[in-house]
Structure 1
Amino acid sequence: MRNQRLYFDHPAHVVSVAVAFPVISIIFVSLRFWARKVQKQPLKADDWLIVLATLLTVGLGITQLYGVYTGALAYPTQIPPGYTGRVSGLHTTQLIIKSQIEWAYAQMFVLALGCIKASFLFFYMRVFAIEKKSFVSKLLTGLIIFEAVWTAALYLSVLFECGHRFWFIWSSDDEYTTHCIRTHPRYFTLCIIDIITDIAIISIPIPLVLRLNLSRSRKIAVSSVFLLGGGSFFASLIRFVMTAGNLVGGNNITYDNIIGATGSAYWATVECGVGVMAACLPTVQFVIRKRFTEWSACNRKDGFGSRSTDPGGHVAHSNRSAEVAFAKMDTCPNLPASLVYPASIWTEESIGKENFAWDERILDMTR
C-alpha cells in the first residue's frame, strides 16, 4: 500500500493535463502553419503528420476527461458492499469503462507517437537530405520505414490483443488474463523502443552540425535548435517508470488497477503534448526570432553602419560535405545578412553544386 496520494490520483490534476496539453499542441501547430506561410514553404508530410498527432493528442485528453467524469480514472477502485471475492474478479461499471478507455487511449497513443517521430524524420529530410542519394537521405528513409512498420505492428497488437473477442478487453482481470495477450511485455517493449528512437532522433542532426565550419559557440547554438526534441525523451522516460510499476517517492502506482491506468494515461498525454511542441519549436522559434530581429533592425535610426548597405536579396549557400544548405534573405534594408532556417532553401530551384565559403554573417544564429 502507498503512504500518500500521487499527483495523478487527484482528479483536478488529471483534468488540467487533459485540457492544457491538447490546447498548447493546437497553438504550436497553428504557429507552425503560420511559420510555413511566412517562409513561403509548401506544406509537406512533416506538417500533416504533426496535425494528425495533435488530433490524437486531443483524443487522449477527451478520454481522460471522460474517465474522470465517470469516475473510471483518478479514483480508487470501488468494491461493492458485501463482495468477498478477489479484486481481479470484479466486473463493475467503473472497471468496464476504465478498460474501454484504456484500450482507446492505447490505440491513439501508439498512432500519435508514430506520427510525432515520423514528423521529426520527415522534417530532417527537408533540412539535411539535399541530395536524394546521399547517406543521410538513405538513413532517414530507412528510419521512416522502420517507424511506420513498428507503429503498424504495435497498433495491431493493441487492437487485437484479445483476437476478435473484443468483449474480453473490458471483462474482469481474471477473464482478460485468460483469453488475451499479456500487456506488460508489450508496454515494456513500447517504452524501450520509444526511448531508443527518441535518442536516435535527437542525435541525428548533431554530427551534421558539428561538421560545419563554425566556431564552437555557433555550433552549440545551431545544435540547441535540434535538441529541443529532447523534451519528449524525458516524458517517455518517466512514463516508462510509471508503466514498469517502479516505486515513485515510495509509492507503487500498480497497487490499484485504476490508479495505474490513470498514471499511464496521464503521462501518455504529457509525452504526446511535449512531442508535438518539440516538433514545432525549431520552425516556430526561428520565424519568431527572425521577425523580431527584422522589426528591431528596421526601427533603429542608426542602422548597422556599413553592414546595412545591402539592398535586400536572396542568395543560396551550400556545403556539400555537410549536406546542409543555407540562404541569405534580407527583407529589411537596415538588417544585416542573417541565416534563413535551412528548410527555407527548399523553395530554391537550384542551390548549386559548388562549395561556398561560409560567411560569418550568414551563419550568425545568435542574432
Structure 2
Amino acid sequence: MPREGEYYFMHPGHVTTAAIALSVLDVVAVALRFWARRVQSQPPKTDDWLMIPAMLLTVGISISQVYGVAHMALGYRIQVPPGYTGSTNDLVTPQLTLKAQIEWSYLLMFPIALGCMKASFLFFYMRVFAVQKHGFINKLLLGFIVVVVVWALAFFFLSLFECDGNFGAIWGATSTFMKKCGNTELVVLALCITDFITDVFIMAIPVPLVMRLQLPAKQKIAVCSMFLLGGGTVIASLVRFILMAGTYIGGINITSDNILGTTACMYWGMVECGIGVFAACLPAIRFLFQKWVWEPAVNSTKSKFSSQSSGSIEAQKNVIHVDHSYDVAYRRINSSGQSTSSV
C-alpha cells in the first residue's frame, strides 16, 4: 500500500485537473444534446431538461473543490499551528472551517445532482421503451422516478438540517460536530449505499427490455453496450461506498488526515456526477457523431473502394453492412417502440 497521501485522488493537482476536465466535458455534452434535438427537429423532452440542473450542480461541485484546493482546504494535510499539542479533532482553524463549509455545500448539491441525473435516465427509458401509456413498463419506470425524487429530497434535507439548524456546529471543531451531529456519518454512509444500489438498478433496466425487442443478437448487444456505457457511474459510486464503509464499518482508513479523507470522498462523488451527465448525453452525441463523422467516413471509404477490385468492393460492403446494422438498431430504439413488438 502506498504511503499516506500518495493516492492520486488526494493530490491537489489531480483534483483540480479532474474537476476542470469533467466540467468542460459535461457542458459540451449537454450543449451537444440540445443541438442534436434541434438537428432532429425534435423539441427537448423531460430527460433533456433535467440535464441542465444536473450539469450546473456538477459544475458547482467541481468549482467548490477547485476553490478548496486553491485555499488549501482540500488536497492538503491539516496545518497544525506551532506549539499546538492537542488533537486535531479539537482544532479550529480557517483551513478546517473552509473545508467543513465546502463539504456541507457538496452534501447539499450532490443528492440533487444525482437525482436529476438518475431521473433523466429513467425518463429517457420511458420515452424509448414505454410503448403503452398505462403498460407495466411505464408504471415500473414511473415508480422508479418517484423513488429517485424522494431519495434525492430526503438526503438533501437531512444534510441541510444535519445539526438541527445549528450551522456553527457544522464548521466548528470536529469533536463538537460529532457531539451535536452524531448521526451524520450514518447518513453519509446510507447515501453511499443507496446511491450504489440505485445506480446498479438504473443501469440494468435497459438490458432485459432490449433483449425483448425483435432485433438480431448482434444489434441487441450493440444497443445494450450503448446503454451500459453509463456503468462508469456505478464504478465511481462503488469506490466511494468502499471508502466510506471502510472508514465507518471496517475500521480501515486510507488516511488519518481529515482533510485528505474528505478530499477522497468528494473527488469520487464529483467523478460519479461528471461521468453520469456525460453518459446520459451519449445517445444524442452518438447521433451527431454518426451524422457528421461516421457517415462521411463510410461514404469516403465507399468511394475509395468503388474504384478498386471486386475483392475490395466486397470489403467495402462489409463496412457498410456493419454501419447499417448498428444504425437500424439505433433507429428502432429511438423511434419509441413503433417498430418493436413484445415490450
Normalised to the residue count of structure 2, the TM-score between the two structures is 0.85
The 1:296/1:259 distance shift into structure 2, 3 A limit, reads: closer
Does 2:335 correspond to 1:345?
Answer: yes
CA-to-aligned-CA distance 1:249-295 (integer Å, 9 cap, x gap): xx933411101111111111111100011111122113322444543
By percentage of residues, which structure has more strand? 1
5 Å-filtered alignment, 1:314-353, equals 338-339=327-328, 341-342=331-332, 344-345=334-335
Does 2:202 correspond to 1:205?
Answer: no
Q: What is the count of residue pairs matched by the alignment?
A: 319
Equivalent residue, structure 2, for 1:3: 3
Percent of aligned pairs sharing the same letter: 48
The amino acid across from 1:195 in the alignment is: F
Whole-Å Cα distance in 1 between the matches of residues 267 and 341 of structure 2? Answer: 49
Does 2:192 correspond to 1:191?
Answer: yes
Whole-Å Cα distance in 1 between the matches of residues 253 and 175 of structure 2? Answer: 21
Q: Which deviates further from its counterpart, 276-285 or 295-304?
A: 295-304
Equivalent residue, structure 2, for 1:133: 134
Equivalent residue, structure 1, for 2:278: 277
Is residue 214–residue 341 contact of structure 2 (8 Å, CA) maintained in 1?
Answer: no
Whole-Å Cα distance in 2 between the matches of residues 23 and 84 of structure 1? Answer: 44
**Aligned-residue offset at 1:50:** 1.1
The 1:260/1:134 distance shift into structure 2, 3 A limit, reads: same
Is residue 7–residue 13 contact of structure 1 (8 Å, CA) maintained in 2?
Answer: yes
By percentage of residues, which structure has more helix? 2
Is residue 2–residue 252 contact of structure 1 (8 Å, CA) maintained in 2?
Answer: no
Whole-Å Cα distance in 2 between the matches of residues 9 and 202 of structure 1? Answer: 28
**Aligned-residue offset at 1:336:** 7.1
5 Å-filtered alignment, 1:206-285, equals 206-245=207-246, 252-285=253-286
5 Å-filtered alignment, 1:50-61, equals 50-61=51-62
The amino acid across from 1:52 in the alignment is: P
**Aligned-residue offset at 1:345:** 3.0
Greater relative contact order structure (CA < 8 Å, 6+ sep) = 2
CA-to-aligned-CA distance 1:131-168 (integer Å, 9 cap, x gap): 21011000000000010011101100001001111111
Normalised to the residue count of structure 1, the TM-score between the two structures is 0.80
**Aligned-residue offset at 1:192:** 1.2
CA-to-aligned-CA distance 1:94-153 (integer Å, 9 cap, x gap): 111000000001111111111110110011111111221011000000000010011101
Is residue 41–residue 344 contact of structure 1 (8 Å, CA) maintained in 2?
Answer: no
**Aligned-residue offset at 1:34:** 1.5
State the superposition RMSD in angstroms: 2.7
Whole-Å Cα distance in 1 between the matches of residues 46 and 163 of structure 2? Answer: 33
Equivalent residue, structure 2, for 1:83: 84
Equivalent residue, structure 1, for 2:47: 46
Whole-Å Cα distance in 1 between the matches of residues 127 and 341 of structure 2? Answer: 20
